[in-house]
A and B are shown apart, each in its own frame.
Chain A
């Protein structure tokens, strides 16, 4: 099975940087996804890490360490529209199913 942990809530100021950590313990690992979900909406894809290291995509970056079972999502130059829930998801190697963490709610304040 999969055990995925991430903080429940984080608050930051507009223009600042926030790092959302995700740790996982899995029976098989193929890759790690990050999704963004605004209140009342469906999750949307942000990033995918398969290999160790940092993947940068504009203001968002995601890091993976397979040996440590650890990932983080870095949000830079925070904007009010970044207030949302951020979901860490692990893809299993045996069945390719996605298992999700409970999500981290980020609140951006002016």
Chain B
């Protein structure tokens, strides 16, 4: 692994289903983030984690949950997907200077 990876690359999901988006980094960054990107709205922060074992809510947390059991992994779960959660999801981690590194993104469609 080099940098930050996300899985799956894309997914089509039926409304009401549970879904976990995976994110892994190998840079030993303490801070990690989940953003969603929608046309005309830019990147909006869903949840973040400043260090392993802690998480916090961002700008648009409703309908999403995260966990941070270790430094490398930061999964995002949609407990019961709704069509408004159709979006491109980016995971990111940041170094001590605050510079963020983004994963390649997951394109999620909820029908």
Contact = CB atoms under 8 A, between A and B. Distances in A.
Given A30-B98, A43-B90, A48-B98, A98 B105 contact: no
B42 A98 contact: no
A80 to B, nearest CB: 23
A48 B95 CA distance: 13
B98 to A, nearest CB: 5
Interface in A54-101: 87, 89, 91, 95-101
Given A95-B56, A98-B45, A102-B41, A42 B100 contact: no
Nearest to B58: A97
B43 A100 contact: yes
Interface of A: 8, 30-31, 33, 35, 41-45, 48, 87, 89, 91, 95-103
Interface of B: 31, 33, 35, 40-45, 48, 50, 56, 58-59, 90, 94, 97-105
